[in-house]
Structure 1
Amino acid sequence: MPKVGMEPIRRKQLIEATQACIGEVGFGATTVQSIAKRAGVSAGIIAHYFGNKMGLLEATMRELLQQLKVELIERLGSSATPRDRINAIIDTNFSKTQTNALAAKTWLAFWSGAMHEPAFAQLQRINKMRLHSNLKYSFKELGLADPDHAAASLSALIDGLWLRGALSPEGIDVDRCVDLCCRHAELLIQAG
């Protein structure tokens, strides 16, 4: 039986080990045993907390999504205008917690799994709706005639640039991606 109070420590340790293993060998080659070895625990601990490898990846993605949410709330709190909010949304989606090499590889494994795993697909729908809704609200505040279209356009650009960067050997060029997204947002605003 695990020691009382160890669960949050073990969960964090296992989530970090999962990202490290995915970063090193990819999700397909990552095993419960390799995660357990990297974390310095038994495979039984993973089964106890997460059930299996898919449960552990789901928990890892929930952690990345929670970090994204917390960062966004923080940045939106200091955003005075709708334009500031749009920039905060862009910056958050390209923040270090979401674009570092291990996070990027974990996101790619998650997106791949979302095509076949209902729990992953549900998390992806929530993430997609959250991004779209936040952008739409800000574009609506700016008086755009079609804030839904503007939000869909900028969301697609954010996701596309993120995906291209994550798949490139150099990784995500955060400054360039943020610049392109901010320019696109400005064009959408000017077009009204």
Structure 2
Amino acid sequence: MPKLGMEPKRRADVINATLTCISLHGMDGMTLDKVAEYAGCSKGVVAYYYKNKDHLTIEAFKSFLAYYSLKIESEIESTMTAGEMIDVTLKHILPPYGNDTEKRINVSQLDGIEKMFIPYEDQARLFLQFFSKAVLDRNLQEVVSKSYLADLHGIAKIFDYGNTKGQMSVEDSQSAAYGLLAMVIGLSFFRVANIPPANGEDNRYICEDYVKKFIGG
């Protein structure tokens, strides 16, 4: 049994280790033994908090998706324009290309949201692993559905705010949000498959151009 008072840190270590393991070895290659090794604990500790691999996978997936919402919410300020709020959102859900391989996965809030981080390449690998499995796993589908419905609601609220403040002209905020999120998901898959735009630029400009159409009416 883990030491008294260590539960939050142990849980965080195990989730971070699980995401690291999935990124490096894939979903099928992730085992409780490997997770324990990356977390620096025994397999018994992992099993104490997460009863089996399926349970651990679902909790890790939830943490992976929650990471984006937490980062976005922590950076959006009420003084921002709607366009600036969308910029913050895109910065996290479709981040610019970057070389950050020396940093480690951390989706724990224990040391503050500002310390949470997922390296660019790990984000791409985890995205592919989780979503490919979600196609056939109803439990993972439910996690995706709940997360994306929340994302759609949040993006639509920004578009509505832009309309109210006269900063945007959006006829249907729900449809606009749906289009933007669908675009992000598609472009994310293109990134993983290494399919760049014809002009060779970072494909996130496609989302930025989409949003610009709503700004200024």
- The corresponding residue for 2:56 is 56
| Matches of 1:133 and 1:139, distance apart in 2 | 10
Structure 1, unaligned runs of 5 or more = none
| Matches of 2:69 and 2:16, distance apart in 1 | 19
| Matches of 2:174 and 2:30, distance apart in 1 | 39
TM-score, normalising length: structure 1: 0.83
| Matches of 1:39 and 1:113, distance apart in 2 | 23
Query: 1:99: how far off?
Result: 5.7
TM-score, normalising length: structure 2: 0.75
Q: Is residue 98–residue 104 contact of structure 1 (8 Å, CA) maintained in 2?
A: no
| Matches of 2:47 and 2:13, distance apart in 1 | 14
Which of structure 1's runs of 4+ aligned residues deviate more than 4 A?
none
| Matched letter for residue 74 of structure 2 | E
Q: What percentage of aligned pairs have identical amino acids?
A: 24
Mapping of residues 127-146 of structure 1, within 5 Å: 127-140=147-160, 141=163, 142-146=168-172
Number of matched pairs: 187
Q: After superposing the two structures, state which structure 1 stretch, 6-15 or 95-104, moved more.
A: 95-104
Q: Is residue 136–residue 147 contact of structure 1 (8 Å, CA) maintained in 2?
A: yes
| Matches of 1:92 and 1:161, distance apart in 2 | 14
- The corresponding residue for 1:150 is 176
Q: Is residue 23–residue 105 contact of structure 1 (8 Å, CA) maintained in 2?
A: yes
Determine helix, strand or coil for the equivalent of 2:44: helix
Structure 2, unaligned runs of 5 or more = 101-116
Mapping of residues 89-104 of structure 1, within 5 Å: 89-95=89-95, 97=117, 100-104=120-124
| Matches of 1:84 and 1:118, distance apart in 2 | 36
**Which structure shows the bigger proportion of residues in helix conformation?**
1
Determine helix, strand or coil for the equivalent of 1:77: coil
Q: What root-mean-square deviation, in Å, do the aligned CA atoms of Structure 1 and Structure 2 show?
A: 2.6
- The corresponding residue for 2:16 is 16
| Matches of 1:81 and 1:98, distance apart in 2 | 27
Mapping of residues 1-192 of structure 1, within 5 Å: 1-77=1-77, 80-95=80-95, 97=117, 100-140=120-160, 141=163, 142-168=168-194, 176-187=202-213, 189=214
- Deviation by residue 1:88-143 (Cα, 9 ceiling, x = unmatched): 21112134845622233223222123233333222211221122112222223234
